[in-house]
Amino acid sequence: FSLPFFRKQHQHRNQLAPSNKTSPSYQIQGNKIIMKTHTQYDRSNSPWNRKVLIWLWSFQTIGSVIVTAFAAALLDRRDGLKQRWDDGLADALFLITSFLVFSFTAINVIFTIPAYFHYKRNSLSPMWMMIGSVWMALFWSTVIAMSAWAIAWSAPIFEVYEVSCLLNMLAGFPYLGGLVYYSVVYDRWRKAHKGKTDAEATNERYSLDSRKPFAEDQGLAKE
């Protein structure tokens, strides 16, 4: 066997076999480029309790859908708000808060559904959890602040509109819990492990039609 033959075989193995190092998001196989679909993460070595976060996000999304429906039912029945003594400020606060809730509920649904399916495949990444725990918490903090302002402004009165604002505040708390978890627990873990990130269990590249590695999919021996 000549040296070029061994070099060619080595290059072929590097293209097909999964690497222990951080892999790119694609695999070169012959003249084809095959995209890597996802990465698996080792739950046992992770500071994140993914199951708790998924339940928090799911309950938050369900709660936000409920408060959205409640606010939508009140939008056309605002005669009581319009007749208050504050020259329409309570009505304006209710309108702004309601449309914020509508927007963030849509974002919740768009975010939570793929996050759940990634969780079921052990591939819910720290980036997704950071987005859910931090950015969505910041979004919903706006709703909580607006709702608290509306309740404080009309403190002598507690009607169905104030109940809506109170429900808005309750709907945002699960994301705030995730924010605290990320900023305290996860940050302490990173400092204790000298800046290490959430460890990948494997970086094998999976085919789109099944979860078998490409080496198995092509009938090749894994190395």
* Mean pLDDT on 33-52: 63
Tell whether the model's pLDDT for residue 84 goes beyond 50.
yes
Which residues on neighbouring strands pair with residue 29, listed in sequence order?
A: 32
Task: Note the pLDDT of residue 209.
Answer: 46
Report d(CA 223, CA 220) in Å as an integer: 9
Q: Does pLDDT of 111 surpass 70?
A: yes
In the structure, what pLDDT confidence band is assigned to residue 177 with cuts at 50, 70 and 90?
A: confident
pLDDT at 144 exceeding the cut of 80:
yes
> Which SS3 state, helix, strand or coil, does residue 28 take?
strand
Cβ neighbours for 77, distance < 8 A, ≥ 6 positions apart? none
Question: Which DSSP string corresponds to 91-123?
Answer: HHHHHHHHHHHHHHHHHHHHHHHHHHHHHHTT-
pLDDT over 90, % of the chain: 0
Would you list the domain boundaries of the chain? 47-192
Whole-number Å distance between alpha carbons of 128 and 125: 5
How large is the average pLDDT for residues 74-94? 77
Residue 198: band (very low, low, confident or very high) from pLDDT cuts 50, 70, 90: low
Q: What is the pLDDT of residue 120?
A: 80
In tens, the pLDDT along 19-35 reads 333 444 555 555 555 55
Per-residue pLDDT at 10: 43
CATH (residue range 47-192): 1.20.120
Confidence bin at 170 (pLDDT 50/70/90): confident
Whether the model pTM is above 0.75 = no
Averaged pLDDT of the chain: 70
Q: What is the pLDDT of residue 160?
A: 82
